[in-house]
C-alpha cells in the first residue's frame, strides 16, 4: 500500500514530558495505580481519549479572532447554523457546551418512568441521562459486533429483528426514540452502514418512533461507508453525511470529536414543538439559544472544524494510522478488536493477559504496565469501569476486558505511533510476569475515575 502521510505540517509545537522508569514507578504508587489520578504533565503520549484533545488548524485559530460575543443574535451563531444546516439539513440547530448537555435536554423532555430508549449501543453519558429520568435504555448490537476477532465491515450495526421484537413487546407508544451511535464508540469505534441506517429509519417510521443520530464521529463513519459500502465509493464525504443525516429527525453531537474543537456540542431537531421545549430548557441550563453554553469564538471554531472534519485526505490518513497500528500488533499475535475502528485501537486484555482473572483487573494491569514502560496513558474498559457485585458481594465481570488507546486528532505523528507499537510489543513479550490488581477504595458510582488500587 502506498504510504499515507500526515496531511498537515506543523506550525506551533507543544513539548511532551519525558520521565524515567524510576519516576514513573513512584508516580504510579503515589496515584494509587489509577491513571486518572496522575498529572497529564507526567504522561508522554496521552491516549486516554480522543475527546477535546485534537489540534485545531490555523484557520480555526484565525476564526477564533472573528468570534462575536454578543449575548443574542451573534453572527458567529449564524455561521455555525448555516454550516450545520448544509451538512445535516435539520431545521433547528441548538448549540450546547458538549455532548452530554444536549443529551440532558432531549432525554429530560422525552424520558421518564415507563419509557424505553433503544440504540445500537448507548454511550455511558447518554445511558446515564436516560436512566436519570427513570426511563430505561436498551442496546441492540448485531452479534458480530460483540466478538472482538470477527472481521466484518460494519460491526456497529443495529440488530433489526431483535429491535422489532422489543418494540412489539414493550409497545411502540412507550418508546419515544431510537438512537444510532456513529461510529459505535463503546463497541470499538465500529461503523454503521448506510443500509442499516436506512432500514432502521424505515422501522422507526413504521412504529412512530423518532430516529436520532449520536453523531460524535459522523465523518469517520461516512469515510468507512465510502471505503466499504457498495455504490458509495464515488460519493463525497459531505454527500454521504448529508444522506445519513436526512434519514434522521434529529441528533446530538459532542463536537469535541469529529468537529475538531476542544469544547462544544449541539442538539438538532426537525420538530418545531420539541425544539421550542428544548430551547426553553437550554435557557435554564446552558444559555441563550444563539450561544448555548459556548463563547462566540467557540462557535466559529466549531463551524470551521465541521468543514475540515470531512476532508477526505485527513479522514483517510486518520483511519489508516489506526489500521497501521492494528496491523503491526496483529502481526506479532497481539489480540485486538478487528477490524480497527475510527478513533481508537482496542486491545483484548482478557486474551492478552489470560493468566489474570477478571476480578484481578487484567485491563488495569495492561494500562499500568504501558505507562510504566513507555509513559503512555490508555484507559481500561473492563471490570474496573463496568464490573458489578452480586448480592453476596462476589464480582460480576462485564463481557469484555478491553484497553482503549484513543488517538487524538492531528496531534501525534507516525513516530509517536511507532513508539506506542514498540512499547505494546515489549509489554506483550513480558506479559507472563504481569500481576493483577485489587481495589482498596471505590466510590458507589463511576468508580474507575477515583478508585484506589494495589498490585497483587
DSSP classification of residue 187:
G
Contact set for ligand F0G, span 260-279 (CB under 6 A)? 265
Q: Which residue is nearest to ligand F0G (CB)?
A: 99
The piece of 93-101, 298-306, 334-342, 413-421 that touches ligand F0G (CB under 6 A) is: 93-101
Contact set for ligand F0G, span 21-50 (CB under 6 A)? 49
Q: If binding is defined by CB under 6 A, does position 386 make contact with ligand F0G? A: no
| Residue 347 to residues 40, 175, 341, 401, Cα–Cα distance (Å) | 22, 35, 12, 9
Instruction: Tell me how far, at minimum, the Cβ of 118 lies from ligand F0G, in Å.
Output: 15
| Residue 79 to residues 23, 74, 75, 397, Cα–Cα distance (Å) | 48, 9, 6, 47
Which CB atom, from 76 or from 129, has the smaller least distance to ligand F0G? 129
The piece of 35-43, 94-102, 104-112, 351-359 that touches ligand F0G (CB under 6 A) is: 94-102
- Residue length of the chain: 456
Instruction: Tell me how far, at minimum, the Cβ of 98 lies from ligand F0G, in Å.
Output: 3
| Residue 74 to residues 77, 78, 211, 300, Cα–Cα distance (Å) | 5, 7, 31, 11
Instruction: Tell me how far, at minimum, the Cβ of 141 lies from ligand F0G, in Å.
Output: 13
Instruction: Tell me how far, at minimum, the Cβ of 231 lies from ligand F0G, in Å.
Output: 27
Q: If binding is defined by CB under 6 A, does position 98 make contact with ligand F0G? A: yes
Contacts of 364 (CB under 8 A, 6+ apart): 33, 380, 382, 384, 436, 437, 453
User: What's the start-to-end Cα distance of the chain, in Å?
Assistant: 45
Q: All 3 cell numbers of residue 388?
A: 458489578
Instruction: Tell me how far, at minimum, the Cβ of 216 lies from ligand F0G, in Å.
Output: 4
For residue 210, what is the enclosing H or E element? strand 210-214
| Residue 353 to residues 14, 257, 292, 310, 332, Cα–Cα distance (Å) | 35, 31, 46, 38, 15
Which CB atom, from 24 or from 257, has the smaller least distance to ligand F0G? 257
User: What mask of x and - would describe binding to ligand F0G in positions 137 to 176, judged by CB under 6 A?
Assistant: ----------------------------------------
List 256, 350, 360, 431, residue binding ligand F0G (CB under 6 A): 256
DSSP classification of residue 5:
P
| Residue 192 to residues 211, 266, 407, Cα–Cα distance (Å) | 14, 21, 20
CA–CA distance, 379 with 456 (Å, rounded to integer):
20
Give the DSSP per-residue string, 34-69: -GGGS-GGG-SEE-S-SSS-PPPPHHHHHHHTT---
Q: If binding is defined by CB under 6 A, does position 285 make contact with ligand F0G? A: no
Instruction: Tell me how far, at minimum, the Cβ of 51 lies from ligand F0G, in Å.
Output: 4
The piece of 98-106, 168-176, 301-309, 319-327 that touches ligand F0G (CB under 6 A) is: 98-106
Contact set for ligand F0G, span 186-225 (CB under 6 A)? 214, 216
Contact set for ligand F0G, span 304-363 (CB under 6 A)? none
List 99, 156, 326, 436, residue binding ligand F0G (CB under 6 A): 99
C-beta neighbour count of 286 within 10 angstroms:
23
Contact set for ligand F0G, span 110-129 (CB under 6 A)? 123, 125-126
Binding site for ligand F0G (CB under 6 A): 49, 51, 98-100, 123, 125-126, 181, 185, 214, 216, 254, 256, 265
Amino acid at each position: 500500500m502506498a504510504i499515507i502521510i500526515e496531511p498537515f505540517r506543523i506550525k506551533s509545537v507543544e513539548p511532551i514530558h519525558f520521565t524515567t522508569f524510576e519516576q514513573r514507578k513512584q508516580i504510579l504508587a503515589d496515584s494509587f495505580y489509577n491513571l486518572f489520578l496522575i498529572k497529564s504533565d507526567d504522561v508522554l503520549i496521552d491516549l486516554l481519549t480522543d475527546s477535546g484533545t485534537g489540534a485545531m488548524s490555523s484557520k480555526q485559530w484565525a476564526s477564533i479572532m472573528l468570534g462575536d460575543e454578543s449575548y443574542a443574535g451573534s453572527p458567529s451563531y449564524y455561521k455555525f447554523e448555516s454550516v450545520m444546516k448544509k451538512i445535516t439539513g435539520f431545521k433547528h440547530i441548538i448549540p450546547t457546551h458538549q455532548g452530554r448537555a444536549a443529551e440532558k435536554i432531549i432525554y429530560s423532555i422525552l424520558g421518564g418512568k415507563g419509557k424505553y430508549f433503544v440504540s445500537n449501543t448507548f454511550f455511558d453519558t447518554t445511558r446515564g441521562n436516560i436512566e436519570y429520568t427513570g426511563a430505561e435504555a436498551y442496546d441492540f448490537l448485531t452479534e458480530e459486533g460483540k466478538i472482538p476477532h470477527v472481521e466484518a465491515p460494519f460491526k456497529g450495526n443495529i440488530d433489526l429483528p431483535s429491535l422489532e421484537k422489543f418494540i412489539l413487546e414493550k409497545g411502540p407508544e412507550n418508546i419515544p426514540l431510537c438512537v444510532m451511535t456513529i461510529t459505535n464508540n463503546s463497541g470499538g469505534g465500529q461503523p454503521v452502514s448506510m443500509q442499516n441506517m436506512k432500514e432502521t429509519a424505515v422501522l422507526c417510521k413504521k412504529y412512530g418512533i423518532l430516529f436520532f443520530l449520536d453523531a460524535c464521529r459522523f465523518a469517520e463513519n461516512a469515510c468507512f461507508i465510502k471505503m466499504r459500502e457498495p455504490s458509495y465509493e464515488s460519493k463525497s464525504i459531505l454527500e454521504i453525511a448529508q444522506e445519513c443525516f436526512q434519514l434522521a429527525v434529529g441528533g446530538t453531537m459532542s463536537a469535541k470529536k469529529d468537529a475538531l474543537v476542544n469544547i462544544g456540542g449541539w442538539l438538532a431537531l426537525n420538530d418545531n414543538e420539541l425544539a421550542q421545549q428544548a430551547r426553553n430548557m437550554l435557557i435554564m441550563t446552558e444559555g441563550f439559544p444563539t450561544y448555548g453554553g459556548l463563547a462566540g469564538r467557540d462557535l466559529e471554531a466549531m463551524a470551521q472544524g465541521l468543514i475540515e472534519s470531512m476532508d477526505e485526505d485527513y479522514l483517510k490518513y486518520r483511519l489508516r494510522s489506526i489500521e497501521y497500528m492494528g496491523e503491526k500488533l496483529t502481526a506479532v499475535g497481539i489480540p485486538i478488536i478487528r477490524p480497527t475502528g475510527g478513533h481508537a485501537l482496542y486491545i483484548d486484555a482478557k486474551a492478552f493477559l489470560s493468566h489474570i482473572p477478571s476480578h484481578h483487573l487484567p485491563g488495569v494491569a495492561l494500562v499500568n504496565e504501558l505507562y510504566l514502560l513507555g509513559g503512555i496513558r490508555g484507559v481500561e474498559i473492563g471490570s474496573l469501569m463496568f464490573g458489578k457485585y452480586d448480592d453476596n458481594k462476589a464480582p460480576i465481570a462485564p463481557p469484555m476486558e478491553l484497553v482503549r488507546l484513543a488517538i487524538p486528532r492531528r496531534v501525534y505523528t507516525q513516530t509517536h505511533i511507532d513508539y506506542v507499537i514498540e512499547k505494546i510489543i515489549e509489554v506483550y513479550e513480558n506479559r507472563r510476569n504481569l500481576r493483577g490488581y485489587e481495589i482498596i477504595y471505590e466510590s458507589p458510582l463511576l468508580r474507575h475515575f477515583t478508585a484506589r488500587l494495589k498490585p497483587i
